[in-house]
Amino acid sequence: MFRKTRQTYIKKDRELSKVKQDALNEKFISHVQIKSKGNGTEQKEEDRGKKAKKEFQKKLRAANKEIVSLKKLISDLKKENQIFKQKNESLKVEKWQLQETSARMTKEYESETKELNERLSSELKRSRTMQRKLDRMEKERSRKRKGLEKQITLAKQVEVLKERNAELQQTLDNYDSIVKQEQGDHKEEIIKLQKELDTYKVQENKLKTTPRALFNYLQQLITPNHLPDFLNFLEQYITKENLKHFYRGDQNIFYIFMRRVSLLSFHAKKTTNGLFVLRNPKNTGANNRLGYLTQSDGEWLFVDLTNTSEMKEYPVMNESHIEGENMELPVRAVIYDDVAKITRTYPKYEVCITETKEIKKDRRGSKEKEYKPFGNFKVLIVGSRQMNDYKERLELHGCTVEIHNPYEEGFELFKGKIGRAEIILVCERHVPHNVWDYIDRRQPFVSVLKKDSADLIATYAYITLQRCELI
């Protein structure tokens, strides 16, 4: 900054000197020109010279002032220059000191760096040495651990061998008792097998002496797949001599089978509009009627159930021959002039002789009553009261029974049960009217009970099976 100011004032000083020189030259030229001209113009020239002189003096004074100021400025600049030189010298000294300090610090830094590098090299060498030592120690430790594990394993094996040796020693010491125990077990097993063999021999003798027991045995083993072969086997034994055994009452058993197949086939078609029609029925006719006995005002009445669409009551001929135990039991009758003549009664029970084993002193036969078996028919009972009692009663007759309470169970379930049933019994007093939307009461396999009881349920089931020619 000082250098720039100094150069500015030097430049102005040169310009001022040039102005003075130009003024002197102009004065000299004016003086020469005045002399060369005439006296007429001297006065003008003199005035002009005075004026020029005044202007020159004025400019000179201004120049002198400026020169004074410039000198003062130069003096100030010299002082500043002197100060600058002093500062420069001071800075040079400071620079030299800084260079000395920097050189000393550089030398110290290089010395410390060298020392640190030496220490780092020493530490790295020491670290590598310790790492190699650590690796050797780890290998040694691993080797010792493996050896220790091997020793532990061997120790365990030794313990196991000791225990095994102790067991063998104990077995050796108790050899006689062990042999005796094993032989005793074999003896018990032999005795058990001998008893089992005796049981099979008894069963074999029973099958030889009592062929009916063979049927009970076959029922446990035979499956539906074996039925065709069983029928072919049965066909080979039909002769004139044993023809009577192929009848169930008055009906040929194959005729009964045919009727049941026809009924099941009808159910399988799931036909709701058509009626199941019996071709050439034998159990029913114009005079041969099915029903049961009941009493009204002390008189016996025959309730005709031959047709499902209508139920009629007839007075009974010769009712003095009827016993009280025939109440609500199935019977056959012939109708003459609206009077029923009972031709056949069906007992509730079958009587069989069994031995009472509870009496030890003397064994004597006792009569045990069993319900008359109808056969393994699928029966559906529809009602809402005493259904379980009715189910148990028909199961005693050998039937497979399902019950349906329309007040508690849905009609989708009802339709499934109808599809599985062979005959249907409806207790009319205990069912809603919409039951008949699913059951056709005109069908021969459907019976409607105006009143119901356990005996009537069995009676209606038996009559319905008779009506369908199934028994």
Domain ranges across the chain = 2-114
**Residue 352 has what pLDDT?**
43
Residue 375 in contact with residue 398, Cβ under 8 Å? yes
Determine the Cα–Cα distance for residues 96 and 103; give it in Å rounded to an integer. Answer: 10
**Residue 1 has what pLDDT?**
53
pLDDT tens, position by position, 122-139: 999 998 999 999 888 988
pLDDT at 355 over 50: no
Determine the Cα–Cα distance for residues 459 and 464; give it in Å rounded to an integer. Answer: 8
Determine the Cα–Cα distance for residues 429 and 90; give it in Å rounded to an integer. Answer: 138
Beta-carbon contacts of residue 231 (< 8 Å; ≥ 6 apart):
none
**CA angle at residue 452 from 447 to 457, to 5 degrees?**
60
Determine the Cα–Cα distance for residues 323 and 345; give it in Å rounded to an integer. Answer: 10
H/E stretch holding 2 reads: helix 2-36
Half-sphere exposure of residue 78: CA atoms within 13 angstroms, side-chain side: 5
**Residue 357 has what pLDDT?**
37
- Residue 457 structure tokens: 């349920």
Of 349 and 209, the structure prediction assigns the larger pLDDT to 209
- Identify which of 431, 378, 385, 386 has the alpha carbon closest to the alpha carbon of residue 402: 378
**Residue 402 has what pLDDT?**
92
Residue 466 in contact with residue 290, Cβ under 8 Å? yes
Q: What is the mean pLDDT of residues 280-286?
A: 63
Q: What is the mean pLDDT of residues 62-70?
A: 86
C-alpha dihedral, 391 to 393 to 396 to 398, nearest 10°:
-50
Residue 290 in contact with residue 463, Cβ under 8 Å? yes
Residue 462 in contact with residue 347, Cβ under 8 Å? no
**Residue 380 has what pLDDT?**
92
Determine the Cα–Cα distance for residues 185 and 191; give it in Å rounded to an integer. Answer: 10
**Residue 185 has what pLDDT?**
59
In the block, which residue shows the tokens 């100094």? Answer: 6
C-alpha dihedral, 259 to 265 to 267 to 272, nearest 10°:
-110
DSSP letters for 99-161: HHHHHHHHHHHHHHHHHHHHHHHHHHHHHHHHHHHHHHHHHHHHHHHHHHHHHHHHHHHHHHH
**CA 168 remoteness from chain centre:** 53
In the block, which residue shows the tokens 């040169």? Answer: 14
- Identify which of 338, 272, 329 has the alpha carbon closest to the alpha carbon of residue 466: 329
Residue 445 in contact with residue 276, Cβ under 8 Å? yes
Burial 336-373 (b: 16+ CB within 10 A, else e): eeeebebeebeebeeeeeeeeeeeeeeeeeeeeeebbe
pLDDT tens, position by position, 230-244: 777 777 778 878 877
**Residue 401 has what pLDDT?**
92
Determine the Cα–Cα distance for residues 67 and 61; give it in Å rounded to an integer. Answer: 9
State residue 291 phi and psi, 5-degree precision.
180, -155
H/E stretch holding 334 reads: strand 330-336
Determine the Cα–Cα distance for residues 118 and 111; give it in Å rounded to an integer. Answer: 11
Most confident of 101-115, 262-276, 297-311: 101-115
pLDDT at 105 over 80: yes
378-382/365-371 β-pairing: unpaired
Beta bridge partners of 301: 294, 315
Please state, in angstroms and as integers, the Cα–Cα distance from residue 408 to each residue in 201, 411, 429, 432, following that order: 54, 10, 16, 11
**CA angle at residue 220 from 218 to 222, to 5 degrees?**
60
**Residue 153 has what pLDDT?**
86
Determine the Cα–Cα distance for residues 258 and 251; give it in Å rounded to an integer. Answer: 11
**Residue 326 has what pLDDT?**
73
Determine the Cα–Cα distance for residues 444 and 160; give it in Å rounded to an integer. Answer: 83
Average pLDDT, the chain: 79
**Residue 62 has what pLDDT?**
86
pLDDT at 194 over 70: yes
**Residue 359 has what pLDDT?**
35
Q: What is the mean pLDDT of residues 302-331?
A: 79
Q: How confident is the model at residue 362 (pLDDT cuts 50, 70, 90)?
A: very low
pLDDT tens, position by position, 149-183: 888 888 888 888 888 888 888 877 777 676 666 66
SS3 34: helix
Q: How confident is the model at residue 283 (pLDDT cuts 50, 70, 90)?
A: low
H/E stretch holding 3 reads: helix 2-36
**Residue 243 has what pLDDT?**
78
Beta bridge partners of 295: 300
Q: What is the DSSP letter of 170?
A: H
Residue 379 in contact with residue 401, Cβ under 8 Å? yes
**Residue 183 has what pLDDT?**
60
pLDDT tens, position by position, 373-427: 888 888 999 988 888 999 999 999 889 999 999 888 888 888 888 888 888 999 9
